[in-house]
């Protein structure tokens, strides 16, 4: 009787919760800690099929029947693999250490957690990063973290360059003798100044140039 009741709840309840994830069947929405996830139609269908039979093996043949009409001809095995892998990616799950979806070799898949079902919305709760590796839509947060990490490295490099320039300026202004700086500047200026040509270089006769 209890098993039948759970099966009925799994089929009819509008709201489902497992881990940090909430499912609203009426809106066909899945959220994680209040953040809406974008699940394509077939990915969403696989999730519901696994949740509905949580703890049991959902065969690949059953998933084919859920995802495609009998008269559709596609590479079923490859498409099932792709869809399940996409669902794992959204949930932050892995094949090696599954938290939500376990692969049953040559058979199908099992949803490992026992979800909760309700006619009313569940309260949103916060979960730590260890309870799911991806908290944003379509893995975007991982990309954002990588982008921010890159910007952080660039900022550190720029800060180091500015600090080095400030230290050099401080050392020159406080420890290099002023006469040395003046001689250095005078030497640089004289080296860069254009040379004045002599009278012979200009082709002038000395006897035609009035003396001062």
Enumerate the domain spans of the chain: 2-135, 140-193
Regarding predicted confidence, which is higher, 97 or 133? 97
Structure confidence at residue 34 (pLDDT): 84
Give the model confidence (pLDDT) of 33-85 as tens digits. 889 998 888 999 999 999 999 999 999 999 998 888 888 777 888 889 999 99
The C-alpha atoms of residue 21 and residue 36 are separated, in whole angstroms, by 10
Mean pLDDT of 3-15: 74
Give the other-Cβ count within 10 Å of 134's Cβ.
18
Would you mind telling me the total number of residues written for the chain in this entry? 212
For the stretch 134-192, pLDDT in tens is 444 444 454 556 677 888 888 889 998 998 888 887 767 776 566 665 666 666 666 65
Q: Tell me the CATH architecture of domain 2-135.
A: Orthogonal Bundle (1.10)
Instruction: Find out whether 136 and 144 touch, Cβ atoms under 8 Å.
Output: yes
């Amino acid at each position: 009787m209890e098993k039948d009741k759970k099966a009925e709840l799994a089929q009819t309840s509008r709201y489902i919760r497992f881990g940090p994830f909430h499912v609203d069947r009426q809106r066909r929405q899945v959220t994680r800690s209040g953040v809406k996830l974008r699940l394509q139609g077939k990915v969403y269908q696989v999730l519901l099929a696994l949740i509905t039979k949580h703890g049991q093996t959902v065969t690949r043949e059953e998933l084919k029947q859920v995802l495609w009409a009998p008269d559709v001809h596609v590479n079923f095995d490859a498409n099932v693999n792709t869809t399940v892998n996409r669902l794992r990616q959204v949930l932050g799950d892995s094949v090696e250490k599954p938290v939500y979806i376990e692969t049953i070799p040559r058979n199908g898949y099992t949803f490992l957690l026992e979800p909760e079902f309700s006619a009313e919305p569940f309260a949103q709760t916060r979960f730590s990063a260890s309870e799911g590796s991806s908290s944003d839509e379509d893995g975007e947060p991982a990309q954002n973290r990588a982008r921010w990490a890159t910007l952080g490295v660039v900022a550190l490099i720029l800060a180091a360059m500015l600090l080095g320039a400030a230290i050099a300026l401080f050392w020159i202004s406080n420890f290099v003798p002023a006469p040395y700086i003046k001689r250095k500047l005078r030497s640089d200026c004289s080296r860069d100044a254009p040379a004045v040509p002599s009278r012979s270089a200009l082709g002038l006769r000395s006897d035609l140039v009035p003396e001062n």
